[in-house]
Chains A and B, each alone.
Chain A
């Protein structure tokens, strides 16, 4: 009698224990779990700032009609525009302009730039990208998609943009105090803190 009673109790007890243990075991965390949490929680900052320039305004800045290459529109979003460079039907590079108002941490790397292209601070990023920063705000970046498109090509193509027209566009704006940039929560270098006036406070390179 007693053992039958125990068996009755034991089964639910074991089930509860299994459920308890499995509930407490954390699911495998992705390296992007934190940014996912930070960008989906209530009141999360938008990835693209309201004050960012419309991508359509950048279209006229891109080079066109380069012999032997085809320049094809790829994306045109608020604060961003991108074109493909194709050669013989193959994508060899991407040309982009982005407004760093949405992503201020992107400007940090230019503050320690040792090179200049067309008079603007220039940096290499990773193995395939070269960028310049115009007006402390607009990042013009070229990304190789094929080994035949070298760093020298990127530097040459950067100079084919209508940079003078880009420099005439709105200057950098100080981020709004309440606007918390998305990447702040990551393990990346700290964001550059902008002074309330348009001049930048020197920061370590990103």
Chain B
């Protein structure tokens, strides 16, 4: 049986590599993310209420809303959880590819995707996942790029942290300062077999708008193109740089400077920021609705 929403929130880690990696981004978006964990804690923090009977009532309504599958909250969790697992596999594939290059095990190159193209597809699929999950949580039709773009400007807290981590860990670190242009170019030059060979895409493709892989590829490229400006603006307004991010990560990951792609792969395999902040966003929306409905 799948886990309850209160278990998911209660079990969120307060430390470890995921939390440390996100904390390393605090300098970019100071004070935005506090790693709020625990179901009751979150109810108290979101509503400002302290009365235990009221907290119980809010919590029960939130649990019921989550368990009503027609409301889309479980689908949003599935997206955040699944895109992260699929992405972890890409990390393993990217490492295997590097091993292939460095140790002349050439055959490995044939079974693993080229890191840059795979990373570009990964980045753009994750972005589309955010768009679809946003629509599931907030009740907007799943192909509404315009609504999503409007809401991005108002992103804060854990949602903003998720986007910051996406831009930094899946864009800037593995692909460099021109990551947005590079990724868009790679996605636009991809064909459906590139897409279908990508584990991240495969894991969530059923919920990406479009009837065929061709349609879905078109939607992914269009969404990425529309959001590119926001991502570039995020980088320029926060002053994020590849070397700055790497410097902050050095506090807890041991690597040398010329191994940026290894770091990207390492983060990909070990940092579950999508799942972590996805649960935090989801429970916040559930609580906001629950306290208004009771």
Q: Point out residues on A near B: beta carbons under 8 Å.
A: 30-32, 35-36, 39-40, 44, 46-48, 55, 72-78, 80, 82, 84, 86, 91, 94, 96, 98, 100, 102-103, 105-106, 125-129, 139, 141, 143-145, 182-183, 186-188
| A39, B56: Cβ atoms closer than 8 Å | no
Name the contact of B48 in the complex, choosing from A30, A40, A100, A145 (C-beta under 8 A).
A145
Q: Point out residues on B near A: beta carbons under 8 Å.
A: 1, 4, 6-7, 10, 39, 47-51, 53-54, 56-57, 59-61, 63-65, 67-68, 70-72, 137-140, 151, 154, 156, 285, 288-289, 291-294
Tell me which residues across on chain B come within 8 A of A47, comparing CB atoms: 61, 64-65, 67-68, 71
| A183, B6: Cβ atoms closer than 8 Å | no
Q: A48-B71, A82-B292 are in contact. Are A183 and B54 (CB under 8 A)?
A: no
Tell me which residues across on chain B come within 8 A of A94, comparing CB atoms: 288, 292
| B285, A75: Cβ atoms closer than 8 Å | yes
Q: A35-B60, A75-B139 are in contact. Are A144 and B67 (CB under 8 A)?
A: no
| A124 smallest CB distance to B (angstroms) | 11
Rounded to whole angstroms, the CA-CA distance of A55 and B60 in the bound complex is 22
Per DSSP, are chain A's interface residues mostly helix, strand or loop, or mixed? mixed
10 contacts between A and B (CB under 8 A): A30-B10, A35-B60, A35-B64, A36-B67, A74-B288, A75-B137, A82-B288, A102-B293, A127-B48, A188-B56
Rounded to whole angstroms, the CA-CA distance of A201 and B56 in the bound complex is 26
Q: Which partner residue on chain B sits nearest A96 by CB separation?
A: B292
Tell me which residues across on chain B come within 8 A of A36, comparing CB atoms: 4, 6, 63, 67
| A74, B138: Cβ atoms closer than 8 Å | yes
| A32, B54: Cβ atoms closer than 8 Å | no
Tell me which residues across on chain B come within 8 A of A141, comparing CB atoms: 292
Rounded to whole angstroms, the CA-CA distance of A80 and B54 in the bound complex is 20
